[in-house]
Amino acid sequence: MQITLNSPLDMHLHLRDGEMLKLVAPLSAKYFSWALVMPNLSPSIKTKEDIIAYKTRILEATKWEQFIPYMSVFFQKNLNYEILKELKNEILVVKMYPDGVTTNSSWGVKSIDLWEIGHIFEAMQKLEIPLSIHGETNDFILDREKNFLPTYELLASTYPKLKIIMEHITNKESISLLKKYDNLFATITLHHLSITLDDVIGWMLCPHNFCKPIAKTESDRQALLALALEADEKIMFWSDSAPHPKEKKESWNGSAGVFTAPIILPMLVELFEKHNKLENLEKFISKNAQKIYGIQAVKKEIILEKKDFLIPDMYGNVVPFFAGKIISWSVKE
Largest Cα–Cα distance of the chain, in whole Å?
A: 57
Q: Strand locations in 205-256, DSSP E?
A: 235-237
| Residue 163: CATH number of its domain | 3.20.20.140
Is 124 part of a structural domain of the chain? yes
- Which segments of the chain have a pLDDT < 70? 105, 107
For residue 214, give the DSSP letter: P
Whether 38 is covered by a domain: the verdict is yes
Total residue count of the chain as it appears in this document: 333
Residue at 2 is within a domain: no
From 10, 50, 220, 240, the catalytic residue? 240
| Distance (Å, whole) CA 284 – CA 272 | 10
What tens digit of pLDDT does each residue of 29-75 get? 999 999 999 999 999 999 999 999 999 999 999 999 999 999 999 99
Domain-embedded: residue 20: yes
The helix/strand/coil state of 302 is: strand
12 lies in some domain: yes
pLDDT at 302: 96
Alpha carbon distance 230, 219 (integer Å) = 17
* Domains: count for the chain: 1
Domain-located, residue 316: no
Q: What is the pLDDT of residues 169-186, one digit of tens each?
A: 999 999 999 999 999 999
pLDDT for residue 99 = 83
DSSP designation for 306? S
Whole-number pLDDT of residue 74: 95
Question: Residue 258: what pLDDT?
Answer: 97
Residue 287 amino acid letter: K
Whether pTM exceeds 0.85:
yes
First to last CA, the chain: 15
Domain contains 333: no
* pLDDT value for 287: 96
153: how many CB neighbours lie within 10 A of its CB?
14
Question: C-alpha distances in angstroms, 330 versus 10, 31, 34, 35?
Answer: 18, 12, 20, 21
Residue 198 is a catalytic residue: no
Q: Is residue 13 part of a domain?
A: yes
Integer angstrom CA distances of residue 103 from 2, 79, 87, 100, 240: 38, 22, 24, 8, 12
Query: Whole domain around residue 238: which residue ranges?
Result: 7-298
The pLDDT of residue 103 is 79
Closest CA to 171 of 221, 101, 214: 221
